[in-house]
Structure 1
């Protein structure tokens, strides 16, 4: 559908939550991808699980303002995600499965610097060159990228590139980090590095994490989980219980296939 009239006001009752009310997302001229989604997410770490094509990535993209919401309301930490996309960009950071999709500058340092140059100080002033350089250096050190600072982004391994993508997102201090299969292309070492940084950062209260994943061990490490099935929320609750219910569904589906 097109020509949607946005709601006059998104719900702002909780500035530390993600809320979806009656959300529908339809492909242009195609099927409905999400239908009637109602969620209120306050847990520090929320996993989103479901089969391929279930709508879990569409849900993440709707929260990030990357998918057109054709009905309903989305509010992210007090920001209307449908009407105020500019404010949403300052509130949400997104880490994709393929880091090449978000590396836009020639070198590692320049890619991190691009985010930092858009930041302001507590008085709303742009950062000085010295402040930008200091923040970039600190971020590179935190993510063990200092030795790669002058390397071309396209020369990085998959693991290094994902660490850069995560660094470039986190240096902007988003209130919500959405990670869509951030470990799917990584080896075991980098999988642990990326997963630990995201999970521990959210646990420390640096940001809220919305983690889309097929890795059910990773999902269980979260505080809450959302199981998406056929464009609807099948279950939402504590991660262990929700993942267990999803696993039971998968076991039944496999048993039927093999019968």
Structure 2
């Protein structure tokens, strides 16, 4: 990945959600931690243009998210914290096919890409399942599959293990760790964060730390205890 933030500021009305930020993300995996309301989700949504900066610029693999929003979304896919907000069709296969057809895949090509993606995540058995009948882990994997079927080069995941039991957490984390796409992962799961090579800490709309997970988590714990 090559994601560049240049003096980015995000405001919602009078509130500054993200103070001026200049940062480059490279490598395969980057984690993001922080208290609720710290700015980490705003930061993540900038990566594929779900949020646009009031000032400054964001490029994703050389694509400006404001100037070329559709291309930016092809570079970076976003998996929401609540997959129920992402899976819009009633059947898992229908949801994956909906996204593929919207990107121009048709007929046998779309069906083949759907089957390949289901197989890749080990969820072939979910193909004809109704979304509302899925467990939390199954729903998260289905949401990830729906995004990855579109072949983004980067995946942004917003708290992918939120409220999952141990088994489903393991399944989702294994999928993240073994997938080919580069990933930016927003997480409260500090055990998982420790396994990432680089960790960012946001606090009150500012990037407070950027470095090795052990040091970044130690600072986060101090902030959380205040």
- Same structural fold, with TM-score higher than 0.5 when normalized by the shorter chain: yes
Moved over 4 A (4+): none
Structure 1, 75-84 or 132-141: larger mean CA deviation: 132-141
Secondary structure of the corresponding residue to residue 47 of structure 2? helix
- Determine the structure 1 residue equivalent to 2:184: 210
Q: Which residue of 1 aligns with 2:59?
A: 75
| Residues 97-128 of structure 1 deviation map (CA, whole Å, 9 limit, x = unaligned) | 21100011121111111223245xxxxxx545
Shift of residue 195, structure 1, vs aligned partner: 1.4
Larger radius of gyration: 1
Q: CA RMSD in A?
A: 1.6
Q: What is the alpha-carbon distance in structure 2 between the residues aligned to residue 106 and residue 250 of structure 1? A: 40
Q: Equivalent residue of 1:247, what SS?
A: helix
Paired position in structure 2 for 1:189 = 167
2:123 to 145, 148, 154: 145
Asked if 2 retains the 8 angstrom alpha-carbon contact of 1:115 and 1:172, the reply is: yes
Which residue among 24, 42, 62 is the counterpart of 2:9?
24
Aligned-partner Cα distance in 2 for 1:44–1:194: 17
Hey, what's the Cα distance between the residues in 1 that align with 2:126 and 2:201? 38
Q: Distance in 2 between matches of 1:213 and 1:51?
A: 10
Q: Which runs of 5+ in 2 are unaligned?
A: none
Higher strand fraction (1 or 2)? 2
**Secondary structure of 2:58's aligned partner:** strand
Is residue 88 of structure 2 the alignment partner of residue 104 of structure 1?
yes
Cα displacement (A) at 1:239: 2.5
1:15-54: CA deviation from partner (whole Å, max 9, x where unpaired): x311111110000x23111011111110211111111111
Aligned residues: 226
Contact 2:76 2:152 in 1 (8 A): yes
